[in-house]
Each structure stands twice: as C-alpha cells, then as structure tokens.
C-alpha cells in the first residue's frame, strides 16, 4: 500500500478549514496545497478570505495568490501543477495537506480529469455572443437538443458549465456526457477526506459575520479598484458581482451587503451538497476543539 498520504480538508465557506489545515500541517511537519480557486488571484484578498499573513507564515502554502486575474487558468492547469508540487513534496514528506472549498479542483487532483477533444476558440466566442444576445435559456435549450442527459444534471444557472458542454458537443459532434467517466486517478498517493460540518443556522451566522468583517476590512474599496475589469471571469464571483451592481446603480450599499450574505449562504449550500458525495470522508463538527480532531489523524 502507498505510504504517501494526502489529507483533504473540505467544507463550506466560513467553516474553519484554514485553521484545521494549518494545525494538521504543523502536526505532520508538512505543507499545504490550496484548492480554493478564488484565492489563486493576487488582486483578490479580502473578498476571497485569503489566509492572514501570520497563517501563511506558520506553514508553507502553495497556490495562494500566484496568479493575476488577467492570466487565464483552468482546472486542468491546476491539476498538472498541483500534481507536480505533490510529487516534489512527497520526496521528503509522508503527508501533505490539501484544503479548500472548490470541490471540482480537489476532485481533479484526487480523481483525475476526463479527457476532452480540442475545441476551436471561435466556437466559444460564438456561444458567448449568443449568450449576450439571446440569454442563458436559449443556450440551455440548445444543450437539451445536443445532450439531454447532461441537461438534466447540469446547473442551468451556470453559463460557464453550459457553454463548456455546448462547445465540446459542437466541436466533436458527440454529446458532452459521452466524454465523462474516462478519468484516471494518480497512483502515487492515497487520500483521506475530512469534511467540516456545521448546523445550518450556525454556519449562516458565521457567514454573515464574516461578510461584515470583510466590509469593515475594506472589501468595497478592493472591488472598486477592480471595477474596470469587472467582465473578467475571475471576478464573476460572490462578493464582487454584488458590488459591481451597486456601483452600476442597480441597488444601494445596504442591499449590496445583504446580497453578498444571501449569495454566500447559497454558495455554502451548494458546497455542502457537493461534499455529501464524499461517502468515505471523516466528518468533523465545526465546533469541536481542533486538538480533539487532531487525535483522529
């Protein structure tokens, strides 16, 4: 059996993943790989809850603010780069910590990625133009024609997922779903998943307090400085979109803050649903003492 182990600390936003990951890394004298896709970008700090300076200095971290929002990045690029880091770390470490709420990125690293055909960039450009002119419902209808099975599964409110499925289906002439299920997991480590759980209202209270903290810390100014670039993909996320709408006059400042709280709670709910798929995970209660959690590992 492989002696190299990846401990993946998962859980919804504001659940306490950072503190537990650092404690585990200190216990095993190892390093942390972040799979929080919102924390990859240098220009986004407050709204993405990047670990504090003292937390980053406590344990070596990888994939924290290593990119600019102007640099295109994909889950495939993350997988390749993170696997390379893991191979290097496992030369001297028996355990490495993975942490973050972006389940798709974690799964890509742990389980591998499906292989898709090359797509002409003009197809994506055309689909984006259609999205702007005709709206998301039209693209969803097109997906239903080309891949009815995937249409039933995909989040129909997520334009990126719909466009990705459409571009593959159009380029290949085959349903997008026909390319799913051919992934191969890396074989040089084993994985133990740890999912932090909270009672729903307690988690929502933590989210609301975190948003208030972010606002007090200067989130509005951080987003205002990025307003010129508001169409960039990396900025199409909770905590940023709402301020852009406020700056555009869609609603007032108080409403913007309430929208961030509401949308963050919805995001946490989607994350919780994703992590329920981890039937082999160790479940830990968010209000448990970290010292007692560490004893399990």
> What pLDDT digit, counting tens, does each position of 192-242 carry?
999 999 999 999 999 999 999 999 999 999 999 999 999 998 999 999 999
pLDDT digits (tens, 9 = 90+) for 91-147: 999 999 999 999 999 999 999 988 888 889 899 999 999 999 999 999 999 999 999
pLDDT confidence of residue 183:
83
DSSP SS3 for 94: coil
If phi > 0 it is left, if psi is from -120 to 50 it is alpha, else beta; for residue 251 that is beta
| Half-sphere exposure at residue 128, Cβ-oriented, CA atoms within 13 angstroms | 8
Q: How many residues does the chain have?
A: 297
pLDDT digits (tens, 9 = 90+) for 230-255: 999 899 999 999 999 999 999 999 99
Q: What is the CB neighbour count within 10 angstroms for residue 76?
A: 12
DSSP 8-state assignment for residue 157: T
How much is the pTM? Answer: 0.84
Tell me the average pLDDT across 65-87: 95
- Burial profile 194-227: b = 16 or more Cβ within 10 angstroms, e = fewer: bbbbbeeeebbebbbebbeebbeeebbebbeebe
The encoded tokens of residue 125 equal: 């450009």
pLDDT confidence of residue 265:
97
The encoded tokens of residue 87 equal: 């191979």
CA distance 41 to 23: 24
pLDDT confidence of residue 117:
84
Q: What φ, ψ does residue 75 adopt, rounded to 5°? A: -65, -30
CA distance 157 to 144: 14
Q: 5-113+183-294: CATH homologous superfamily?
A: P-loop containing nucleotide triphosphate hydrolases (3.40.50.300)
Cβ atoms of residues 282 and 9 within 8 Å = no
pLDDT confidence of residue 160:
86
Tell me the average pLDDT across 14-18: 97
Mean pLDDT across the chain: 95
Nearest to 46 by CA among 210, 172, 286, 256: 210
What CATH class is the domain 121-179?
Answer: mainly alpha
- Tokens 């759980």 -> residue: 197
Domain limits of the chain? 5-113+183-294, 121-179
pLDDT surpassing 70 at residue 1: no
pLDDT confidence of residue 107:
95
Sequence-ordered list of residues with C-beta below 8 angstroms from that of 113, at least 6 positions apart, any chain: 75, 76, 79, 183
Cβ atoms of residues 62 and 34 within 8 Å = yes
Tell me the average pLDDT across 58-74: 95
Sheet holding 61-62, edge to edge: 61-62, 32-34, 95-99, 5-10, 190-197, 282-285
Burial of 245 (0-12, 13-18, 19+ CB in 10 A): middle
DSSP SS3 for 7: strand
pLDDT confidence of residue 115:
82
CA distance 106 to 123: 28
| Half-sphere exposure at residue 106, Cβ-oriented, CA atoms within 13 angstroms | 28
- Cα angle: 85, vertex 87, 91; to 5 degrees: 115
pLDDT confidence of residue 275:
96
pLDDT digits (tens, 9 = 90+) for 249-291: 999 999 999 999 999 999 999 999 999 999 999 999 999 999 9
């Amino acid at each position: 059996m492989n002696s190299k182990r990846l401990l993946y600390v998962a859980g919804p936003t504001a659940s306490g993943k950072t503190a537990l990951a650092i404690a585990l890394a200190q216990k095993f004298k190892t390093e942390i790989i972040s799979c929080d896709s919102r924390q990859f970008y240098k220009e986004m700090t407050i709204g993405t809850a990047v670990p504090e300076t003292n937390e980053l200095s406590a344990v070596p971290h990888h994939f924290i603010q290593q990119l600019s929002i102007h640099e295109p990045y994909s889950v495939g690029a993350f997988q390749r780069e993170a696997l390379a880091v893991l191979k290097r770390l496992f030369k001297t470490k028996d355990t490495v910590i993975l942490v973050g709420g972006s389940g798709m990125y974690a799964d890509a690293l742990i389980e591998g990625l499906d292989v898709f055909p090359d797509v002409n960039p003009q197809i994506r450009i055309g689909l984006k133009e259609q999205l702007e002119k005709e709206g998301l419902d039209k693209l969803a209808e097109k997906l239903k024609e080309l891949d009815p099975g995937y249409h039933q599964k995909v989040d129909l409110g997520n334009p990126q997922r719909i466009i990705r499925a459409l571009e593959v289906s159009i380029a290949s002439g085959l349903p997008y779903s026909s390319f799913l299920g051919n992934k191969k997991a890396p074989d040089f480590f084993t994985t133990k998943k740890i999912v932090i759980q909270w009672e729903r209202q307690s988690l929502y209270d933590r989210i609301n307090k975190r948003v208030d903290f972010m606002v007090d810390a200067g989130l509005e100014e951080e987003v205002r400085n990025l307003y010129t670039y508001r169409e960039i993909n990396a900025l199409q996320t909770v905590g940023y979109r709402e301020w852009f709408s406020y700056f555009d006059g869609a609603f007032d400042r108080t409403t913007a803050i309430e929208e961030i709280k509401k949308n963050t709670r919805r995001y946490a709910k989607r994350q919780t649903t994703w992590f329920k798929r981890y039937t082999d995970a160790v479940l830990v209660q968010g209000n448990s003492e970290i010292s007692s959690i560490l004893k399990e590992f």
